[in-house]
Amino acid sequence: MTQHIEVVGAVIVYDDAVLVAQRGPTMSQAGLWEFPGGKVEAGETPELALVREIREELLCGVEVGDFVESTSHAYEFGTVRLTTYFARIVSGRPTPTEHAALLWVPVDELRELAWAPADVPAVARVMELLQQP
């Protein structure tokens, strides 16, 4: 039986750049880029999970905004369903606690990064939403 994992990601935008996180050396898919976030725990809404995960992983507070994309990707360990939301930093400065690096990447350069497979459809959607005139 395939394990199903619910995950959330934050699309944090400042000026014309998006905050992205590089998976650390001890994480699966080390070195790949993703929108910061993590697993939804039992009894949590995706929005509450995202606030908790960003507080734990980036040591800052966010306000969750509009839904961006929801996609599923089958990995060897199970199927990940990633739901992304726009988010706004409301307290603190993003500081990596698990990731190898954080970068503010201009929207038009997002495709240049090596993304974790589950994040690829969300990247396309973010670019579509943010590059409208």
Asked whether residue 52 carries a pLDDT value surpassing 80, the answer given is yes
Residue 22, domain CATH: 3.90.79.10
Q: How many domains does the chain have?
A: 1
Mean pLDDT to the nearest integer, 91-107: 95
In angstroms and rounded to an integer, the radius of gyration of the C-alpha atoms of the chain is 14
Tell me which amino acid residue 30 is: A
The whole-number pLDDT of residue 29 equals 86
Are 82 and 71 spatial neighbours (Cβ–Cβ below 8 Å)?
Answer: yes
Q: What are the structure tokens assigned to 37, written together?
A: 């976030």
Dihedral sign (CA 121, 122, 123, 124): positive
Asked whether residue 1 carries a pLDDT value surpassing 90, the answer given is no
The whole-number pLDDT of residue 132 equals 57
- For 110, counting Cβ atoms within 10 Å of its Cβ (0-12 exposed, 13-18 middle, 19+ buried), the class is buried
Count of residues for the chain?
133
Mean pLDDT to the nearest integer, 94-116: 95
Asked whether residue 54 carries a pLDDT value surpassing 60, the answer given is yes
The whole-number pLDDT of residue 28 equals 82
Asked whether residue 133 carries a pLDDT value surpassing 70, the answer given is no
Mean pLDDT to the nearest integer, 5-11: 97
β-pair type (17-22, 37-39): unpaired
The whole-number pLDDT of residue 78 equals 87
Q: Which domain holds residue 98?
A: 4-130
- pLDDT, the chain, mean: 93
